[in-house]
Amino acid sequence: AQTVTQSQPEMSVQEAETVTLSCTYDTSESDYYLFWYKQPPSRQMILVIRQEAYKQQNATENRFSVNFQKAAKSFSLKISDSQLGDAAMYFCAYRSAISAGNQFYFGTGTSLTVIP
């Protein structure tokens, strides 16, 4: 089974600064999707950004961008100009594009604190 590792249980960032959250994964597949989800205190899972493995270009969504290193199996999330509303748990997730079932595999999460 695929595994997703987030090595930073907690991170903090000053408001308006930039922070990078790390994620690595293990897979033998060549075609897959990677996601970053945000879970604020409300517990609602919110999709932040996704990356298709076949695309070399890193995905960006406004202040959120990823550094996707396929060979290294690394998928980090960069949050620029951090805002108080960015404080949340962030989960990295993997989904196969080819195997049946296509379930998501989640990392253990990184709790992000934004300091005013």
Partner 1 sequence: GAVVSQHPSWVICKSGTSVKIECRSLDFQATTMFWYRQFPKQSLMLMATSNEGSKATYEQGVEKDKFLINHASLTLSTLTVTSAHPEDSSFYICSARRVPTSYEQYFGPGTRLTVT
State the Cα angle at 70 between 52 and 77, rounded to 5°: 70
Q: Per CB under 8 A, which region of 59-67, 68-76, 77-85, 105-113 contacts partner 1?
A: 105-113
Tokens in use for 14?
């000053």
Q: Which residues pair with 94 in a beta bridge?
A: 34, 105
| x-marked contacts with partner 1 along 43-82 as a string, rule CB under 8 A | xxx-x--x-x------------------------------
Widest pairwise Cα distance in the chain? 45
Give the residues lining the site for partner 1 (CB under 8 A): 33, 37, 42-45, 47, 50, 52, 89, 91, 95, 97, 101-104, 106-109, 111
